[in-house]
Amino acid sequence: MRFRFRFAYYMVGFIMGLFFVAMVLSGKDARCNYFPNARVLNDLRTKPFNFSDKAKLILAQKWVDTTDIKNTLTYGDVDFDKSNKEAEKGKLYIIEGKTTKNQPIILEVINYSDKAVLRDIIKKQN
């Protein structure tokens, strides 16, 4: 059998396989969080999220809002050198992100087994 016929059979089977995999995974809420940064951020987003009193005071200052917090928890970078430490019976995570005005911020989030608490919001100096 010639190469082009073998290649054509291969491509037909490959495309049919992709079609079936897409059908199986399209109805599910499947996520591929293989990297540690994505796993931590996904875990924090899926838990009930609370704000400490200090974080509420900073949010009242209006230079940062909850949209910036959500974006940082979606697209931010976890600083693992400073994170994953025990704090108040949970684990502390330091997450770097930006506001909608492109101002760098740092979030200190304590991850408990049943909830996540935003402890502090720090305006990062350039």
Question: Phi and psi for 120 in degrees, rounded to 5?
Answer: -155, 150
**Tell me: the pLDDT tens digits for 30-59?**
667 789 999 999 999 999 999 999 999 999
Cβ distance 111 to 90 under 8 Å?
yes
What is the C-alpha to C-alpha distance for residues 28 and 24, in angstroms, rounded to an integer? 8
pTM: 0.74
Three-state secondary-structure class, residue 44:
helix
Q: CB burial class (10 A; 0-12, 13-18, 19+) of residue 7?
A: exposed
Q: Which pLDDT tens digit goes with each residue over 51-65?
A: 999 999 999 998 999
Phi, psi of 93 (to 5 degrees): -125, 135
